[in-house]
Amino acid sequence: MSAVVVRELHELDEIEDAFRLFCEIWGTGPGNAPMSVEQMRALSHAGNYVAGAYVDGRLTGATVGFFGAPIARTLHSHVTGAHAGHAAGFALKVHQRNWALARGVARITWTYDPLIRRNAHFNVTKLGGRPDGYMPNFYGSVDDAINGGTDTDRALVVWDLADPKVIAAVNSTPIPVAVPADAVTALAVRDERPLLGRTDAAHLLVEVPADIETLRRTDPGAAKEWRIALREVFGGLLADGARVIGFQDKTRYILTRDSTA
């Protein structure tokens, strides 16, 4: 596999390449891209984070972040997209972390769709991120190849840059998390549909469907059931103080009510 080279983007032609990459990944037209050229150009000029990942000189991933509250202590990573097969997404996050630390930033936040298994695995397992809140329909209805015009519920990830779990993860040695023996399943997959379980245990498991993006196209009713069920169960548990401690087997979240875990 060719090495991934990550660098900041400042020139207009570089930013235009990132814009076209986002359109390609999200399956949108120029008028519905996750970020416009003008926005990225302004953020880069103002000292925020705009970077690209290159493989053999070709742009294969890009990311955009801006400073958030508390000012000068938090970077919000608004959009990151990368083609699969080159580990460009991981390389971008490692570069983003180093960039932030060099500027005294203590944490990075971002949002993701908690129904998408590969994103949950990447954010929680590969990066050591911590889902810290659930935000229903955060962006409104977004009609692209990923969201399919459905409600855009999002989990907010907090990436504490000095956390031992994060340090281990960015060094490609993520700390494994075992499922507690007394864990109960609060939400399960049964014939591609959600099955509600108990939510009153100390340790809980929340499963998500194998491929929600395909389900949105082939069975919108089932996809909507999943959105409502995850909002109720996963969102409810986070609001009630439960914490995500892992994402097991690229399949299910592990949550605990134990504040010492």
Q: What CATH code is carried by the domain that includes residue 136?
A: 3.40.630.30
Express the helix, strand and coil content of the chain in percent, nearest 5 each: 35, 30, 35
Cα separation values, 92 from 61, 89, 98, 176, 250, Å: 8, 5, 10, 23, 21
Please report the pLDDT score of residue 149 as a whole number. Answer: 66
Q: CB-based contacts of 25: which residues, under 8 Å, 6+ apart?
A: 81, 82, 83
Whether residue 138 sits in one domain with residue 215:
no
Counting the structural domains of the chain, the total is 2
Q: What is the pLDDT of residue 245?
A: 97
The predicted pLDDT at position 30 comes to: 79
Instruction: Tell me which of 170, 200, 226 is where a domain ends.
Output: 170
The pair of three-digit structure tokens given for residue 22, joined into one six-digit string: 């986002």
Band of residue 24 on the pLDDT scale cut at 50, 70, 90: very high
Lowest-confidence pick of 17-31, 130-144, 222-236: 130-144
Domain closes at, from 170, 194, 219: 170
Query: How does the average pLDDT of the chain come out, rounded?
Result: 94
pTM for this entry: 0.93
Q: Are residues 27 and 75 in the same domain?
A: yes
Give me the pLDDT at residue 150, please. Answer: 76
Asked if 37 and 107 sit in the same domain, the reply is yes
Domain hosting residue 9, numbered range: 4-170
Q: Are residues 100 and 202 in the same domain?
A: no
Residue 14 shares a structural domain with residue 73: yes
